[in-house]
Amino acid sequence: MDTPKNPTLLERIRSRRLTATFLLLATFSVGILAGSVLTHSVSGKEQVVDTSDARPLVIPSPKELSNGFSAIVKQVGPAVVNINTESLPKQSANKTPRRRGQTPRGGQPGNDDNPSQGDMQDFFNRFFGGQGGGDGDDDGPAGSERRALGSGFIVDSRGYIITNNHVVDKADKIYVKLSTDPDGGPGDQGRAARVVGVDKDTDIAVIKIESSTPLPTIKLGNSDSAQVGDWVLAIGSPFGLSQTVSAGIVSAKNRSIDEPSPNGISQSQFQRFIQTDAAINPGNSGGPLVDLGGNVVGMNTAIYTQSMGSQGVGFAMPSNIIASVYNMLIGPEHKVTRGSIGISFQPAVSSAVGRMYGFTNGVIVATVSPTGGAAKAGLEPGDVIVSIDGRNIKDGDDLVNDISARKVGSSVKLGYIRSGKQNTASVLIGDRAKTYADLAGNDGDDNAAPQESDAGQSTLGITVSAVPPPMLKKLNLTGGVIVTSVRPGSFADEINLNKGAIITTINKMPVADEASYKAIVSKLKSKDDVVFVVHYPQSTGNTYVGGTLP
């Protein structure tokens, strides 16, 4: 008969391990069930908490807790406007000549697929090479309509607005929106504006809108009173976001951003900026920089950036310069005239140069225009100008500021050093635009060309001069006048009457010379149809352009 065997040690261990496993699983199950019951109990208690003793939150009455910035914004904000411009598609170079360089100064706006591209350009191209010649062809993508944004501020209740020239330069259409204007949707661009006058040397423009009621205005302050460390506010439309305000301080004054041309002549002689760390971005261009009194001390013009955004270094044109330029632009000629003696000079020289040539303060002449007053008075390259009418000058800026403010046709007594000897000369003040062109080596014979005529400036928006005889012979013409400038936004600008066009007929009446041109134009009046027959040196045959005077 078989007898049962005693379990081995291994079998007993296995049996106990299985029992322990079951006990562990049972313990976990009990814990999970207990947790669920407790959680349900807590949740139920939260739902029945008595909140009768809780007090509702109350929004307090508005209180003025600001440092005064908000009061300034309320005061000046209504006079700050949003400016948007359009440049229409242009014909290619092999077609009939039309207006050239249509891209707004400082920007090459993208097409509608990338509208922000235009917004991003007004400062960055302005500061890194976008200033360049408005006379160059720049038609951009064929068939594309280009837009740019900027800011401005109203200084006259009749609708006169100050902004940057690069905001409106070469624009076909300019629109202005006030902060009080209703938002009419995507198609509502604002009020049509026209250009009164521009000054490229300071990048200042004056435009005008019509209004049946007086418009809110902002006052210009004295920029000489602005001190480094003063609080300032920048107001404008960065990235199209109108009525945006940023605060900062004046971080420097009399800052020069000098970019000399290849021949060494400064391209920004009259641009001496207020530097600020108030946030300025694309679209702020042309907006005001105001002090804590609510007065404009500068106009936001450029930024220094390496990241396509504000880095705390912005530049504003001082209000004292703005006021001087504005007063000339609203005058009968709508242009800025500055005095010049017809020289160029090196902005800064080392002390060794001064010791070698025997001067501590003064300007050493680099080049002399053969048609300028300095040449006619006997000044030569290497002469050191040390005084003006007996007043010692500090440097080139001092010389330019003094001479440019003088009336064309007046004379000035200059003290200068040549070969270590003191000399004086009476120098006639000329028009800087003409002497500068001569120094820059522009094409054209200034000696042979007569003075430009301003006839038609107010009516047509152009200036003309006699056609040089060699050009008449080359084009087989017997007479005419050549267009030497076209005011942006003028009647001539709108009908595509370009600079360089030779006008031979107006309304079927021959234009033989400046006298006949003046006689015809003087009889034109509003609502008249005006048709020009013009010739272009680069094309053959007659070109007919015309329109109805506004």
Residue-wise pLDDT tens digits, 217-240: 999 999 999 999 999 999 998 887
Tell me the per-residue pLDDT of 475-500, one tens digit each, with 9 for 90 and over: 888 899 999 888 888 899 889 898 88
Residue 494 and residue 547 in contact, taking contact as beta carbons nearer than 8 Å: yes
Judge whether 444 lies within some domain: no
321 lies in the same domain as 258? yes
Residue 263, pLDDT > 80, answer no
CATH classification of the domain holding 418 = 2.30.42.10
pTM: 0.60
* Type of residue numbered 101: G
- Mapped onto helix, strand or coil, the DSSP state of residue 38 is helix
Quick: pLDDT tens for 374-387.
999 999 988 999 99
Per-residue confidence (pLDDT) for residue 387, from 0 to 100: 94
> Do residues 470 and 492 share a domain?
yes
Average pLDDT, the chain: 78
376 & 407 share domain: yes
**Of 202, 240, 272, which Cα lies nearest the Cα of 121?**
240
Residue 283, in any domain of the structure: yes
| 105, 169 contact by CB (below 8 A) | yes
Residues with a catalytic annotation lie at: 166, 203, 285
522 or 541, which is more confident? 522
- Who wins on pLDDT, 305 or 287? 287
* Residues 82 and 179 both lie in one domain: yes
pLDDT tens figures, 70-103: 889 999 999 999 999 987 654 443 333 333 323 3
Last residue of a domain, one of 176, 209, 242: 209
Q: Does position 446 have pLDDT exceeding 50, yes or no?
A: no
Which CATH number do you get for residue 189?
Answer: 2.40.10.10
> What pLDDT, in 10s, does the model give residues 387-441?
999 999 988 888 988 998 898 999 999 999 998 899 999 999 998 887 766 655 5
CA atoms in the 13 A half-sphere facing the CB of 51: 7
The domain boundary, picked from 286, 305, 329, lies at 329
* Across 294-321, average pLDDT: 82
pLDDT band at 177 (very low <50, low <70, confident <90, very high): very high
Average pLDDT over residues 188-194: 86
Based on the fold, state whether residues 126 and 158 are members of the same structural domain.
yes
Q: Are residues 99 and 135 in the same domain?
A: yes
Q: CA–CA separation, 531 vs 549, rounded Å?
A: 10
- CB atoms closer than 10 angstroms to residue 424: 12
Q: What is the pLDDT of residue 120?
A: 38
Bigger pLDDT: 541 or 440? Answer: 541
Helical spans, DSSP H, in 446-511: 469-475, 491-494
Query: Total domain count for the chain?
Result: 4
**What residues make up the domain containing 317?**
223-329
Q: Which residue has the higher pLDDT, 288 or 40?
A: 288
